[in-house]
């Protein structure tokens, strides 16, 4: 995947959120400047579509994790609208990524250079860079 120089990379799952920036070349990403924004999960709108009793009893759906994904999307939306993010790559597990997409602002969508549906939180930076280059 071609990741523009200075592009932001959001690495998200149901509990973690890290934002880094590509200081390398488009086909040789080098991620630096990791920050972990403090999110307040207040948007539990996913509960509307996840009300089946069986999924809740068997732990198939954790509304707190989905609310965290929504909060990450809202944080990214605010940065995109403010012009603080020009290019963005989102790396998230499939469930979180699906929830985030439901909350993308049109400004954020314009700035997306890609998405990778893979759990990469907690991975060393070099593995994340390899996953981006291979995508």
Residue stretches of the chain with pLDDT short of 50: 47-48, 50-52, 54
Q: Is residue 79 part of a domain?
A: yes
pTM score, whole prediction = 0.86
Q: How many domains does the chain have?
A: 1
The 10 Å Cβ neighbour count of residue 115 is: 17
Find the domain containing 24 and state its range.
8-134
Q: What is the pLDDT of residues 24-38, one digit of tens each?
A: 999 999 999 999 998
Q: What are phi and psi of 101, to 5 degrees?
A: -60, -35
Q: Is residue 54 part of a domain?
A: yes
pLDDT at res. 64: 79
pLDDT at res. 63: 75
The 10 Å Cβ neighbour count of residue 27 is: 10
Q: Is residue 80 part of a domain?
A: yes
The 10 Å Cβ neighbour count of residue 10 is: 22
Q: Is residue 94 part of a domain?
A: yes
CATH value at residue 98: 3.30.420
Structure token pair of residue 15: 């509990």
How far apart, in whole angstroms, are the C-alpha atoms of residue 48 and residue 25? 42
Q: Is residue 1 part of a domain?
A: no
Q: Is residue 2 part of a domain?
A: no
Assess contact for 67 and 43: CB atoms under 8 A.
yes
pLDDT at res. 53: 52
pLDDT at res. 110: 97
């Amino acid at each position: 995947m071609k990741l523009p120089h200075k592009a932001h990379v959001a690495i998200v799952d149901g509990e973690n959120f890290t934002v880094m920036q590509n200081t390398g070349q488009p086909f040789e990403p080098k991620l630096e400047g990791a920050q972990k924004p403090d999110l307040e999960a207040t948007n539990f709108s996913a509960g509307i579509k996840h009300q089946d009793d069986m999924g809740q009893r068997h732990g198939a759906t954790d509304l707190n994790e989905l609310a965290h994904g929504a909060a990450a999307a809202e944080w990214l939306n605010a940065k995109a609208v403010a012009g603080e993010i020009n290019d963005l790559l989102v790396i998230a597990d499939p469930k979180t990524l699906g929830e985030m997409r439901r909350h993308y602002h049109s400004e954020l969508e314009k700035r997306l250079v890609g998405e990778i549906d893979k759990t990469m939180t907690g991975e060393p930076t070099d593995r994340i860079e390899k996953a981006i280059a291979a995508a």
